[in-house]
């Protein structure tokens, strides 16, 4: 018995939404669990009965509590920085949710380019780290590293947006976007290595949590540097160096169509080619030789005096 289409659509929507919910719901607890693992021996025991907090303005409790407050699991003051933290958190959660829903939709419809999925997963920690850093900057009123972190954050966002735009394998693979992702990854490798990675990891001068942090920040930079180059090489059938400029050289194939649907027949010059799963005409067919169109020279007579001009 076949499943009714209504139930199929319902199940599809539930799967997409569940996948989108799991990311924002599980990443922060996992982060705190990792912190607890490294800092549990140095953490303080909190006596909930006798502890108090005099730095809390008690605004969000209204008339229910004032003065020096008793223990709370979460404190926050009614300040501009608290509003900034809240807005940033909402934007982060919505963006994370939408990205996962988009990738899940592609996966269910068998249109997902798995190499881009790997890049997205590898970048989750970097984006989460950026969110956490800005929360702490605003929470502590500490801004000496703000501009330094902002460069990493903006370029990471740009790289991830390009990765998401390349995730649909039914759309033509853009070598320019892939090259941009690779350049961002390389720049982060150089900057990160110069900044902390060599000192903390290579030389072994960092503490255990610093080593884990730097490795998790370096991995999302190495993969975005290597994977796009592999994809460009695979699509161009060239060497690594020449694949960096695939699609930009004069000798590259000039198609009459940029994208097409898998299984669709399209004309490329004189050849009728089948569109492949990458959303492009078959490479072998598209590069087949076409006979030049003959050009004729007339000497004034109507017939029998035409000569083919080579």
Q: Residue 91 and residue 135: Cα distance in Å, rounded?
A: 13
Tokens of 44: 């303080």
Strand pairing category for 271-274 and 265-268 = antiparallel
Mean pLDDT of the chain: 78
Q: In this structure, what token pair is assigned to residue 111?
A: 């249109």
Q: With CA atoms as reference, report the closest residue to 163 among 176, 183, 177.
A: 177
Place of tokens 């080593």: 211
Greatest Cα pair distance in the chain: 113
Query: At CA 285, angle to CA 264 and CA 268, rounded to 5?
Result: 65
Give the pLDDT band of residue 295 (cuts 50, 70, 90). low
Residues 257-281, mean pLDDT to the nearest whole number: 70
Query: Could you tell me which residue, 277 or 102, shows the higher pLDDT?
Result: 102
Instruction: Flag whether pLDDT at 254 surpasses 70.
Output: no
Structure tokens at 303: 């017939």
Q: How confident is the model at residue 278 (pLDDT cuts 50, 70, 90)?
A: confident
Beta bridge partners, 268, equal 271
- Residue 304's pLDDT is 47
Query: Which whole number is the average pLDDT over 103-130?
Result: 90
More confident residue, 106 or 8: 106
Res. 238 pLDDT band, cuts 50 70 90: low
pLDDT of residue 118: 93
Identify the CA nearest to 282 among candidates 239, 235, 243, 245. Answer: 235
Q: Give pLDDT, residue 203.
A: 67
The torsion defined by the Cα of 90, 95, 97 and 102, in degrees rounded to 10, comes to 160
Helix axis angle for 114-140 and 208-236, nearest 10°, is 150
Write out pLDDT tens, residues 53-64: 888 888 888 877
273: pLDDT strictly greater than 90: no
Pair 150, 207: CB distance under 8 Å: no
Q: Report the DSSP beta bridge partners of residue 271.
A: 268
> How many Cβ atoms from other residues are within 10 Å of residue 59's Cβ?
12
Query: What is the per-residue DSSP string for 73-136?
Result: S----SSHHHHHHHHHHHHHHHHHHHHHHHHHHHHHTT-B-HHHHHHHHHHHHHHHHHHHHHHH
What is the pTM (predicted TM-score) of this model? Answer: 0.69
pLDDT class of 32 with cuts at 50, 70, 90: confident
Higher pLDDT, 203 or 32: 32
Q: What is the pLDDT of residue 165?
A: 92
Instruction: Report the pLDDT averaged over residues 168-172.
Output: 83
In Å, what is the CA distance from 302 to each residue of 43, 160, 299?
101, 65, 9
Please check whether residue 223 is in contact with residue 122, taking contact to mean a CB–CB distance below 8 angstroms: yes
Q: Is the dihedral of CA 68, 71, 77, 78 positive or negative?
A: negative
11 or 22: whose pLDDT is higher? 22
Residue 167 phi/psi, 5° resolution? -75, -25
Give the model's pLDDT for residue 49: 83
Q: Which residue has the higher pLDDT, 138 or 29?
A: 138
Q: What is the pLDDT of residue 136?
A: 93
Does residue 4 register a pLDDT over 90? no
pLDDT of residue 81: 94
Helical spans, DSSP H, in 197-303: 208-236, 240-243, 283-286
Q: What is the pLDDT of residue 306?
A: 44
Average pLDDT, integer, range 65-82? 84
Q: For residues 187-196, give the mean pLDDT.
A: 76
| Percent helix, percent strand, percent coil in the chain, to nearest 5 | 60, 5, 35
Residue 63 DSSP one-character state? G
Neighbours of 260 (CB within 10 A): 21
Predicted confidence band of residue 125 (pLDDT cuts 50, 70, 90): confident
């Amino acid at each position: 018995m076949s499943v009714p289409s209504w139930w199929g659509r319902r199940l599809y929507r539930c799967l997409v939404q569940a996948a989108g919910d799991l990311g924002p719901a599980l990443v922060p607890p996992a982060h705190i669990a990792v912190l607890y693992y490294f800092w549990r021996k140095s953490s303080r025991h909190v006596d909930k009965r006798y502890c108090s907090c005099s730095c809390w303005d008690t605004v969000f409790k209204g008339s229910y509590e004032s003065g020096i407050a008793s223990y709370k699991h979460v404190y926050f003051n009614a300040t501009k920085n608290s509003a900034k933290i809240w807005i940033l958190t909402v934007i982060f959660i919505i963006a994370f949710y939408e990205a996962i829903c988009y990738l899940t939709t592609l996966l269910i419809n068998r249109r997902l380019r798995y190499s881009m999925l790997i890049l997205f997963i590898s970048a989750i920690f970097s984006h989460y780290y950026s969110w956490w850093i800005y929360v702490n900057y605003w929470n502590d009123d500490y801004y000496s590293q703000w501009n330094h972190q902002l460069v990493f954050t903006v370029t990471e966002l740009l790289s991830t947006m390009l990765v998401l735009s390349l995730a649909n394998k039914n759309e033509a693979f853009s070598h320019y976007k892939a090259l941009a992702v690779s350049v961002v990854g390389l720049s982060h490798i150089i900057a990160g290595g110069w900044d902390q990675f060599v000192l903390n990891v290579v030389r072994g001068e960092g503490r255990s949590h610093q080593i884990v942090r730097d490795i998790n920040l370096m991995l999302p930079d190495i993969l975005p540097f290597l994977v796009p180059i592999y994809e460009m090489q695979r699509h161009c059938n060239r060497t690594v160096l020449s694949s960096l400029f695939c699609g930009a050289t004069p000798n590259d194939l000039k198609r009459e169509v940029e994208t097409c649907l898998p299984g669709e027949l399209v004309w490329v010059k004189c050849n009728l080619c089948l569109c492949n799963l990458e959303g492009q005409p078959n490479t072998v067919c598209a590069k087949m030789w076409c006979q030049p169109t003959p050009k004729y020279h007339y000497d004034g007579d109507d017939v029998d005096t035409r000569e083919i001009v080579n």
